[in-house]
Structure 1
Amino acid sequence: MNICVYCASSLKIDQKYLTLAAEVGAELARRGHTLVSGGATVSCMGAVTAATRRAGGRTIGVIPQVLVDIEVADRDSNELIVTADMRERKGVMDARSDAFLVLPGGIGTLEELFEMWTSRVLGIHDRPLVILDPWGLYTPLRQLVENMYEEGFTRANVFDAISWTTTIDDAFTHLERRAQPVRPSVAELGEAAG
């Protein structure tokens, strides 16, 4: 299946986050999945894509034109899609993905997480959404959502719409349990036939 990984593009993070991203990419490939990413070569985004390919996996990168030069587009990607803007980028990543894995990241990662989480709570999609958080970066977020629920601002199914994990194996178990593959693209069908 196609797994979208949301993660950091920041250059000022601890090495442990880059190592985690690389381990996720290697495991994704080992399990025979395709990576859908933000299409850049920097930070965790670069680490997850490079590790996926090193382990023999396929990568689909999606990056807006404005970031092609800033983030250095992943031109080694098996498929690189350049979009007009960030909104189109998120739409393409969504459309090409069977499941979503959120690694530690910044406000861009949070934006992507909240869009997929809200859509799942509203029943717009039912694809797995998993947070992999070995060091508790998102613990305050989880507590905030729990408090929002207690105050009546969220629906009870907000907790059913997402899985919180701390290990790579647990994250992939949750992703694979409920995901159904999307239809292959025309390009993928051509590759399979050729």
Structure 2
Amino acid sequence: MRVSVFCSSAPNIPQTSLELAFNIGKAIGDQGWDLVWGGGKASMMGEVAKGARSTGAATIGVIPEGLKKVEFEDTDATNMHVVTNMRTRKAKIEDLAEAFIILPGGIGTLEEFFEIWVGRYLKFHHKPIAVCDPTGVYAPLQVAIDHLAAQNFMKAGQAELVSWCSDIPTTIEAIRIK
């Protein structure tokens, strides 16, 4: 199976987040699965790829030409797809991956998360989605989503399409295709 991980490329984030990224990459590889990710070696993006490679997993990157130097293209990737823009990147990642894990991140990570979540709700794909958040970074987001649901801005069945997990084993189990 090929698992996509969406996560931060920001500098100066907590060491615990970098360790989480490495460990989720390692957990993916320990399952005999491969990693699909944004192709960068900065921050959490780089750590998730290192973790996957530490187990011998293939790492399949997708990076826009314009970000090769900004996100520092990971030249150790098993395979790197260089694309023209972010929309093409997201579409290629969605095509390549069979499941999605969301780790802590900023607006780019959130954009990827929401796009893949909406795509699943609209039945453009049926791939599992799990948020791995052991430190509660996304707790305010969960409160906001619950508030939207309570105000009837979310449709029935939308919230159930995402597994919110507080540890790596639960996350791996949540995306396991049965």
**Shared fold (TM-score greater than 0.5)?**
yes
TM-score by length of 2: 0.97
Counterparts of 1:54 and 1:177, CA distance in 2: 23
Counterparts of 1:74 and 1:80, CA distance in 2: 8
Counterparts of 2:153 and 2:122, CA distance in 1: 14
Counterparts of 1:47 and 1:23, CA distance in 2: 8
User: For this pair of structures, how many residues does the alignment match?
Assistant: 178
Aligned to 2:43: 43
Tell me the CA shift for residue 51 of structure 1.
1.5
Gaps of 5+ in 2: none
RMSD after superposition: 0.9
After TM superposition, where is structure 1 displaced by more than 3 Å over at least 4 residues in a row? Answer: none
Aligned to 2:143: 143
SS in 2 for 1:157: coil
> Structure 1 or 2: larger helix share?
1
Tell me the CA shift for residue 67 of structure 1.
0.3
Tell me the CA shift for residue 158 of structure 1.
1.4
Aligned to 2:24: 24
Aligned to 1:53: 53
Counterparts of 1:55 and 1:11, CA distance in 2: 25
**Residue type of the partner of 1:111?**
E
**Identical amino acids, percent of aligned pairs:** 37
**Residue type of the partner of 1:57?**
A
Aligned to 2:63: 63
Structure with max Cα Rg: 1
SS in 1 for 2:164: strand
**2:98 aligned with 1:108:** no
Gaps of 5+ in 1: 179-194
**Residue type of the partner of 1:153?**
F
TM-score by length of 1: 0.90
Aligned to 1:10: 10
Farther-moved stretch of structure 1 (119-128 vs 13-22): 119-128
